[in-house]
Structure 1
Amino acid sequence: MTSAFIETAAAPARRPMPGWARAALWVGIAVVAVSFTSYQTGLPELTASGTVQSAVRLGVPILFAALGGLWAERAGVINIGLEGMMILGTWGGAWAGYQWGPLAGLVAAAVFGALGGLLHAVATVTFGVNHIVSGVAINLLGAGTAQYLSTLVFEPVSQNPRESPPVPKFDTYSAQPFGDWLQWLEDLQRVGISDVAGILGGLLTGVSPITLLAYLLVPVSYLVLWRSPFGLRLRSCGENPVAAESLGVNVYLYKYSAVIISGALAGIGGAALILNPGQAGYLEGQTNNRGYIGLAAMIFGNWRPGGLLGGAALFGYSDGLQLRDGEITVHALFYAAALVLLAVVLLQMWRRNWFAGGVALVAAAIVYSIYWYTDELPEVLTAYTPHLVTLVVLAAASQRLRPPAANGLSYRRGS
């Protein structure tokens, strides 16, 4: 018994894989699954550069909303009102962009979104209103305010109370000569090589300043929230505000700052819908619940910047794919999803987690059966692909989530 104990103690402990490496592994598995699906189904649209460009364009607003949710909830304030703040951002961006250009529109969108965040902070932090109730009220107020202002300001110009006149856009940039070389590789239609070339070509072609800003804010948010004294104090307000107060942290100030920044980020996400190419200007209802999807991306990412980037990419890809012959291409995703689930089965078996592996195997069989026994999906379902993906992903990720401990709880100084 003693020798067995000594051998066990002497055996080196298996170090867990770093988070970035685990994320890179799953990204690689997903790319391989989609590439193999593209080859098996004869659908190059799955990895075409045009599909990836659409995914990036549609995923950037979701990414901004997810970052906004991250900042608020890390300070302990649930921000269901991201959708309303995005709506305010779309109107503010269209109004200022039409008057003074896209840069002014971007600033105005951040300001309008921040005003929505400020209102949410006043209700939840100062007056202790339930965070969900306040967020729903912000969504209703944002939609109603934008509708009223559109009737007041845009209708005399556009002759339509539900849309603005055309708004100037940001210029887009491409990585030359890499773009031409990647397009040549994509056109060769070689398994794996053309798929990777299409993905890289979509990421490096037609990039706007808002897209660059979105990707830049992911590492910046990580560095500020996890590697700075300001971020440490802010996150302490979301974990244990009473303990933070005892150490001299002004909890009210940090909660207000976080929720206002959250609203500004959501507002910029709204501006991305009108200042990026592909949309003439403000259009009533154009956010299409992306604020809620951004919140789902944040939860999928376990309240971490890198994770929410993956969630935004997933939702943006599913949204972009349904725009390109969606009945067939979205149907092919069932094949790719079955392959990913098989990878999950192998992982769980390697960990000797037999129950989780069995559940993943059953899920893989169901998903593949749907693919095998159907030829395409009804159009009424493909239109709601991002929302369905949101529900499935949240259900699958629910077991590993760890929100901030004091998230959504009321706080009173001295309590």
Structure 2
Amino acid sequence: MNLVTTSSAEPNPSAGPMTEPAPAPRRRVPGWLSAMLWVAIAITVVSTTSYFTGLPELTSSGTVQTALRLALPIMLAGLGGLWAERAGVINIGLEGMMIMGTWGAAWGGYQWGPWAGMLAAAVFGALGGLVHAVATITFNVNHIVSGVAINLLGAGVTKYLSTLIFAPISQNPRESPAVPKFDTFSVQPLTDWLRSLEDLQRVGISDVAGILRGLLINVSPLTLIAILLVPVSFFVLWRSPFGLRLRSCGENPVAAESLGVNVYRYKYLAVTASGALAGLGGAALVLQHGQPGYLEGQTGGRGFIGLAAMIFGNWRPGGLLGGAALFGYTDGLQLRRGEETVHALLYGAVLFLVALAIFQLIRRRWLPMVIAGASAGLLYALYWYTDELPEQLTPYAPHFLTLIVLAVAAQRLRPPAAIGATYRKGEGG
């Protein structure tokens, strides 16, 4: 007897047409690992730039401390925009809510101390958010129009209140008297050890030490609260039933209503919380050390930059934190040897674009590779043929960076599906 064995790998004609095996699913990189990789890339680029340009200020603890202080109001404003827009309400009135928060922080802080100032800032910002909610949710006013009105209203109301309350004390209607600040602390003896490493001026080691020390010295309670609000917002919005219902209002409010969600209530809560967070952003400009108190115009467009940071972060808290850090760092650099340090960012951008071009080459994506390489060449030419940026342009570096980042990030954005849409209860039948 002849026994014929057939390998399982050979086709069997009686089994019908063969089908291609399903491709193995690609393993998604965990969010925390992706964030750590981006942090490592950023530190490497800045450290290399500092070495080749001979500017240790790029990674000094003083620069990082200033950047952190300037990033806080941007981050809080961005968190405010995140809460509102995840519920489907566009909030470009963040600037006006921040302005109201600065006045509330100065008034409450002058009367009863910094903790009262922080609470007053949140309340004043929440009032601005409530006005925006009434206009957009109850009366279906266009969200952009309402946001612009809030910005004008915030500036006008605080100007009137300053003239009425602060002017008799400070003799100037555009500023408040000196406001008490939060006490600060440093993580010692760790910061002393990091300072010794930073002073060694060793490539990489001193850069990392300077960055860490800048994050651990002169820390205020407001700084800790602001940073904690990022993971808190993530867990509330993405890991709780409340957050699921709130986000459903921004994706499909009609479907949410059909499942028993009170869409009006959740939108009101989100926009009011948005105003409170923006108000805390205003408090960060008043109650942190380095600021005398309320100053007219002190927000300087940070509400809009916070909105840009939120969009850059693709309506996610982690991405928003990265965007706020980027804008705050740029803003902090222009305060320390501004023209030279901001000019050095061109070199850092060249390094980043070269790395991006190599990455696209490995992936065989030719058009993005050519665009990244050409952009690197243009920026390097600008860096090579100029010694420093014009003094008149340096203060606007964060605003230019905002435009560039939004242009680059525009292709991968995914806003909530029903953002800015008009909703009326019962319209789904």
What TM-score does the superposition give when structure 1 sets the normalisation length? 0.98
Distance in 1, matches of 2:23 and 2:104, equals: 61
In the other structure, the counterpart of 2:112 is 100
Q: What amino acid does structure 1 have at the position aligned with 2:326?
A: L
* CA spacing shift, 1:92–1:15, aligned 2, 3 Å: same
Distance in 2, matches of 1:75 and 1:323, equals: 37
Q: How does 1:13-24 map to 2 (within 5 A)?
A: 13-24=25-36
Instruction: Give the unaligned 5+ runs of structure 1.
Output: none
Distance in 2, matches of 1:371 and 1:222, equals: 39
Q: Is structure 2 residue 369 aligned with structure 1 residue 350?
A: no
Q: How does 1:158-197 map to 2 (within 5 A)?
A: 158-197=170-209
Cα offset for 1:30? 1.4
DSSP-derived class of the 2:173 partner:
coil
Could you give the per-residue CA deviations for residues 36-81 of structure 1, whole angstroms, max 9, x where no partner exists?
1111111000000000000000000000000000000000000000
Q: What amino acid does structure 2 have at the position aligned with 1:19?
A: G
In percent, how many aligned pairs have the same letter?
73
Cα offset for 1:22? 2.1
Q: Is structure 2 residue 246 aligned with structure 1 residue 230?
A: no
* CA spacing shift, 1:140–1:8, aligned 2, 3 Å: same
Q: What amino acid does structure 1 have at the position aligned with 2:315?
A: W
Q: Is structure 2 residue 288 aligned with structure 1 residue 267?
A: no
Cα offset for 1:229? 0.4
Whose Rg is larger? Answer: 2
Cα offset for 1:347? 2.0
Could you give the per-residue CA deviations for residues 361-402 of structure 1, whole angstroms, max 9, x where no partner exists?
111111111111110001111110110110111011000000
Could you give the per-residue CA deviations for residues 316-354 of structure 1, whole angstroms, max 9, x where no partner exists?
000000000110000000000111111211222222221
Please, which of 288, 292, 303 is the counterpart of residue 291 of structure 1? Answer: 303
Cα offset for 1:18? 2.4
Q: How does 1:34-113 map to 2 (within 5 A)?
A: 34-113=46-125
Distance in 2, matches of 1:12 and 1:68, equals: 40
Q: Is structure 2 residue 406 aligned with structure 1 residue 394?
A: yes
Q: Is structure 2 residue 41 aligned with structure 1 residue 29?
A: yes
> 10-19 or 200-209, which moves further after superposition?
10-19
Distance in 2, matches of 1:10 and 1:2, equals: 18
DSSP-derived class of the 2:21 partner:
helix
Cα offset for 1:13? 3.9
Please, which of 372, 378, 382 is the counterpart of residue 360 of structure 1? Answer: 372
Distance in 2, matches of 1:274 and 1:2, equals: 75
Q: How does 1:244-393 map to 2 (within 5 A)?
A: 244-393=256-405
Distance in 2, matches of 1:134 and 1:391, equals: 23
CA RMSD of aligned residues (A): 1.5
Could you give the per-residue CA deviations for residues 159-216 of structure 1, whole angstroms, max 9, x where no partner exists?
0000000000001111100000000000000000000000000001111111111110
What TM-score does the superposition give when structure 2 sets the normalisation length? 0.94
DSSP-derived class of the 1:379 partner:
coil
Q: What amino acid does structure 2 have at the position aligned with 1:143?
A: A
DSSP-derived class of the 1:79 partner:
coil
Distance in 2, matches of 1:102 and 1:319, equals: 25
Could you give the per-residue CA deviations for residues 99-140 of structure 1, whole angstroms, max 9, x where no partner exists?
000000000000000000000000000000000000000000
Could you give the per-residue CA deviations for residues 221-253 of structure 1, whole angstroms, max 9, x where no partner exists?
000000000000000000000000000000000
Cα offset for 1:281? 0.4
Corresponding pairs, count: 414
Q: What amino acid does structure 1 have at the position aligned with 2:63?
A: T
Q: What amino acid does structure 2 have at the position aligned with 1:135?
A: G
Q: What amino acid does structure 2 have at the position aligned with 1:246?
A: S
Cα offset for 1:12? 4.0
Distance in 2, matches of 1:337 and 1:20, equals: 24
Distance in 1, matches of 2:307 and 2:269, equals: 19
* CA spacing shift, 1:91–1:25, aligned 2, 3 Å: same
Instruction: Give the unaligned 5+ runs of structure 2.
Output: 1-8, 12-16
Q: What amino acid does structure 1 have at the position aligned with 2:276?
A: A
Q: What amino acid does structure 2 have at the position aligned with 1:219?
A: P
DSSP-derived class of the 1:262 partner:
helix
Pick the structure with more helix per residue. Answer: 1
